[in-house]
Amino acid sequence: MVDHGPGNDFPFGLKKPDGSAHLTSDTSAPRVGSWTHALYVNEGAANVVFKAILPRGKHEKPDQKDQTNQDAITRYLIRVPKKARAPNKSVYTAKEQSLLFQKIITPLFQNKREMLLDQKLVEVPDATVTNLATELSSLDRNGQKRPPKFRRDEIQPSNVIMLVEDMRPRNDDEHTIEFKPKWLAQSPSAPRDANTCRCCAFASRKYHEAGDSRERKYSPDEYPCPLWLDPDLETPQGKDKIRSTAIQRHMNGDKHHAHLYKLVQRSGILTDLKRRQIDFDRTGPMKADANVSRGEGDFKASELDRLGLAMTLRDCSLFVRYREGPPDSEGRRRVHEPSHEVKLADLDLKNVQWKIHEWRAKEQALIQGQWYVGRGRMTNCALWR
């Protein structure tokens, strides 16, 4: 399966899929009909997410082809990679990300697919790609919805796209929390005398450099240190309130945050995530070497490739979806535990060939600016002393 020989610049020595915008004939991925309607949901730096819908307007009739893809429309969102902003900053195609997910990400979690957001690679007609691009351009023209920093970003013109499981509430009884666990352990590049974790150091730098209230969420009073999410971390004396507040903020202020954190803790997903973040980055971005290999079996790769995987695991999202049970004798509704789901998402592998320069620059700025050693006074950081 894996070729670890020289000259292969695709991660972990895998053979890069063909560059065709279509699926090959030997794939089992389905081909779906043309969705006549799709709504913008959200986007990040690398992908745009849409929701396919069936029109129900007074004068509209659903396309019959859409009716044959009811499962895809009701259970999944459409995720489409963006065009690169610069020729030297390419992102992986949906076909490439699907291969990496199957060969690297899924085995990394012992093939426990219930821990991972389900995704499917599909081929769609040209009309669907056109519809998605039109939806984006119409938002740009009207100045609606898209974050300012992403306006005028375009999607890749490929017929191969990804369907990802929709974890939004399916009815009024369900609730969904989404957050990024981020760096669950300190950066290997941090100074030995660091009293601030990598995420808190980065947040304090952003807060101080902004110089106004727009970045208030990164302030020492507001920013929740991700190390408090670590199930193996014992709470130091006098830090209980700081930790509970951090967990509440990570979980978007949900009233059941303490109970939900225990369920996430019980799942083992954060423990697994932390261990893999550490295992795949032993050097930090400053020292990762493309000519030095680490690991075993299918995970034997250069330090640079392994760093790329670690950074992916540090930027993934965690979804918690649950229902509330009926009111108890005191009228309170609690989490219905059998209903809860905990899944990781946004596990697209980073393109380390150009991202490494960004990672090194950020790390260098944190070290030289003394953000790791308390310049920002992030007193709620789990490492603060």
For residue range 51-82, what is the model confidence (pLDDT) as tens digits?
987 655 544 455 555 444 666 678 899 999 99
pLDDT at 251: 97
Torsion of CA 150, 154, 160, 166, to 10 degrees: 30
If you average pLDDT over residues 210-225, what whole number do you get? 86
State the CB neighbour count (10 A cutoff) for residue 20: 12
Strand 317-324 versus strand 335-345 pairing type: antiparallel
Torsion, Cα of 276, 278, 282, 287 (10° steps)? 100
Does 212 have pLDDT greater than 80? no
Distances in whole angstroms, Cα of residue 186 to Cα of each of 55, 195, 200, 318, 383 = 49, 10, 10, 20, 9
Q: How much is the average pLDDT of 270-286?
A: 96
**More confident position, 201 or 1:** 201
Q: How many helices (H) and strands (E) would you count in the chain?
A: 11, 10
pLDDT confidence tier of residue 369, bands split at 50, 70 and 90 = very high
Give the fold, CATH level 3, of 11-165. Answer: Phosphorylase Kinase; domain 1 (3.30.200)
pTM for the structure as a whole: 0.90
Segments of the chain assigned to CATH 3.30.200: 11-165
Q: What is the helix (H) or strand (E) element at residue 363, kind and residue range?
A: helix 352-368
Q: Is the pLDDT of residue 3 over 50?
A: no
Band of pLDDT at residue 186, cut at 50, 70 and 90: very high
Question: Which residues share a beta bridge with 40?
Answer: 50
Confidence at residue 70, expressed as pLDDT on a 0 to 100 scale = 64
Residue 103 pLDDT class (50, 70, 90 cuts): very high
Confidence of residue 324 (pLDDT cuts 50, 70, 90): very high
Q: What is the pLDDT of residue 67?
A: 46
